Chains A and B, each alone.
Chain A
Amino acid sequence: MIYPNRRLVLAGLGVAAALPFGPRLLRAQDGPLKVGFVYVGPVGDFGWTYAHDQGRLAVVENFGDAVETVYVENVAEGPDAERVIRQLAQDGAKLIFTTSFGFMNPTIRVARQFPDVWFEHATGYQRADNVAIYNARFYEGRAVIGTMAGMMSKTGTAGYIASFPIPEVVMGINAFQLAAQKVNPDFKTQVVWVSTWYDPAKEADAARALLDQGADIITQHTDSPAALQAAEERGVFAFGQATDMSQFAPNAHLTAIVDDWSPYYIKRVQAALDGTWESTDTWGGMAEGEVVISPFRENVPAEVAAAANEIIEGTKAGTYHIFTGPITDQAGELRVPEGEVMADADLLKMDWYVEGVAS
């Protein structure tokens, strides 16, 4: 989704910000451009960090000898991160991606000490002349799977395993329910909060509990494939998270919302190589290729696939926005009037649930 006005303003700011760095840009291109990545988890988590590392590998493949990438995994959020980021900058990295919310303050602090190094921080909100921020519109993917759930659920109830009630998660639940409701007006999304991003046994138990209590399709905003395994065991359908998880649940897995950072990383590395890098605020989605719906499997009926594809196409074209009014909240109060689209700023602080969400 592109918001031309905002982009224009940002671009203007960015050009002004980039001016003092002119001479240094030329020097940066003498050898291969060194690009650093700081990960919060292991590259083998098969979720968040894995997806970022796939993006790094895409950079390597795309630019070959023109870049040299280096990554540090399992970096704890906090003082440790500052040390790691500073080390990367000292070792000659010219562009550094820090890929977790908790790296925000360390990134800003190190960026102040290295004005000629460019930093990119994922999912945060603080910027500087040499710090850009980026995130992905995962809710766009939630709207697609919500539509599929609405069409495929027989009981009209989905089970949603959620981590913590932060705007990112709330937004996803609401997008899912709104999309399902468009297909089935009586649809209900039953949420179970597990208070963790990662606890496979608990995620699986939450899925079983939801299935016991009447849900017949499962989705999650936690990191492991455990819920899919529980769905497989009960013979119902479910959706993958962050990566295609079909090997864990060959019959249950319908599709997955895949994080693909490679288009963004390639674009930004290209800008750094060209000397056109500037501090930006990017919230890309399906149109930019950052949020991808993994290929439908044979268990997805043709009409469901067609409906899902329609939403994907509409989202990419900018004609479909799931948070378009009228939207009423749990208490039945109209929150977004007919025809109005929620602003990004409101989405990013969303703390209420739409009608039909039981949490």
Chain B
Amino acid sequence: MSAVVLVSIVMSVVGVSTPILLAALGELVAEKSGVLNLGVEGMMLIGAVAGFAVTYATGSPWLGVVAAAGCATLASLMFGYLTLSLTSNQVATGLALTIFGISISSLAGESFVGLTVPIFGPVFPAALAQDPMLRLVFGHSPIVYFSLAMTAAVWWFLARSRGGLILRAVGENDHSAHSIGYSVIAVRYAAVAFGGAMAGIAGSFYSMVLTPMWAEQLTAGRGWIALALVVFAVWRPGRLLAGAYLFGLVMTLELQSKAAGFALVPPEFMAALPYLATIAVLALISVRRTGASAAPACLGRPFKPAT
């Protein structure tokens, strides 16, 4: 196998991994604050259609990404209002958000079926971005670099910053955080909104970078993989990055091996693999439960201040 083909395979892995990484990063922050938002798939679709529509209307993919983040944030705030202000059940509301996202994106995207949009220009000079080898480093969409930067930023925020400490406190023990004067609800709103923005950008990666078009349910269930990935990574940004690229590598190698004429395992098994891996990790952390590595203690629990 030539080096050029290897580079090409790696480029595919990056393409598969990036949107999952972005969506999972957003969900990780939301879950760290104690909110389980199962609406990732719906928010991704809203982002995908909004990004496509605005790029189509304005010709600017940059504006498209901003719109994708904005619209998905609005959707996440609806979820926030229901679950945080009205303390509705997070699981049911999250599922409703996914169904809502699928439907509203179909409706909004009706007139965009069969169209295509301009894609991002290269970030780096063409000599670097189109070189058969150097494109490995310089040839990616700006969103790819953004996803890597955000991974570092989220890690720094959660592990090193004061804000991250407060967010984690809210997720681990909401009543204690409340009693020492932090606004649990406000922190959670912010975390949910961040999750929405990231899911929206992840969705726009499908409609504007990987396959620049709109079609119903374009993301085809990747939001669920992102949700599984957060658990797989045991709520740690570093492992999330590794996990996203591992999932991407597995999915790409599956197709590559079949294209090369040998199937490693049946395709149905490969499709199930991310979830099987997640179940395995869940089993592992339940067996050797150490405080820091397990789920945020308040995950999925509605918060009602005692006073």
The CA-CA distance from A201 to B268 in the complex, in Å, is: 17
CB < 8 Å neighbour of A213 from B16, B113, B256, B268: B256
On whether the beta carbons of A199 and B5 are closer than 8 Å, the reply is: no
On whether the beta carbons of B9 and A212 are closer than 8 Å, the reply is: yes
On whether the beta carbons of A201 and B210 are closer than 8 Å, the reply is: yes
Residue total for B at the interface (Cβ-Cβ under 8 A): 37
Q: Is A300 an interface residue (CB 8 A)?
A: no
CB proximity to A under 8 Å, residues B135-163: none
On whether the beta carbons of B9 and A200 are closer than 8 Å, the reply is: no
CB < 8 Å neighbour of B213 from A191, A195, A212, A248: A248
- Majority SS at the chain A contact face: mixed
Residue in A closest to B5 when the chains form the complex, CB atoms: A212
On whether the beta carbons of B256 and A209 are closer than 8 Å, the reply is: yes
Cβ distance B44 to chain A, nearest Cβ, rounded Å:
11
Which of A38-46, A132-140, A170-178 lines the interface with chain B? A38-46
The CA-CA distance from A295 to B63 in the complex, in Å, is: 37
CB proximity to B under 8 Å, residues A203-221: 203-206, 208-210, 212-213, 215
Cβ distance B207 to chain A, nearest Cβ, rounded Å:
9
The CA-CA distance from A47 to B128 in the complex, in Å, is: 38
CB < 8 Å neighbour of B215 from A46, A196, A206, A215: A46
CB < 8 Å neighbour of A198 from B110, B213, B217: B217
On whether the beta carbons of B215 and A229 are closer than 8 Å, the reply is: no
Cβ distance A155 to chain B, nearest Cβ, rounded Å:
13
CB proximity to A under 8 Å, residues B237-293: 251-252, 255-256, 258-261, 267-268, 271
The CA-CA distance from A193 to B251 in the complex, in Å, is: 13
The CA-CA distance from A210 to B218 in the complex, in Å, is: 22
Chain B contacts for A203, CB-based, 8 A: 211
Chain B contacts for A336, CB-based, 8 A: none
Cβ distance A331 to chain B, nearest Cβ, rounded Å:
16
On whether the beta carbons of B261 and A358 are closer than 8 Å, the reply is: yes
Q: Is B106 an interface residue (CB 8 A)?
A: yes
Residue in A closest to B6 when the chains form the complex, CB atoms: A212
Cβ distance B41 to chain A, nearest Cβ, rounded Å:
13
On whether the beta carbons of B211 and A190 are closer than 8 Å, the reply is: no
Cβ distance A265 to chain B, nearest Cβ, rounded Å:
22
Pick 10 A–B contacts, CB within 8 A, sort by A.
A41-B216, A44-B216, A200-B210, A204-B211, A205-B15, A205-B16, A209-B256, A209-B258, A210-B259, A215-B259
4 shortest interchain CB distances as A-B pairs: A209-B255, A199-B220, A44-B113, A213-B259
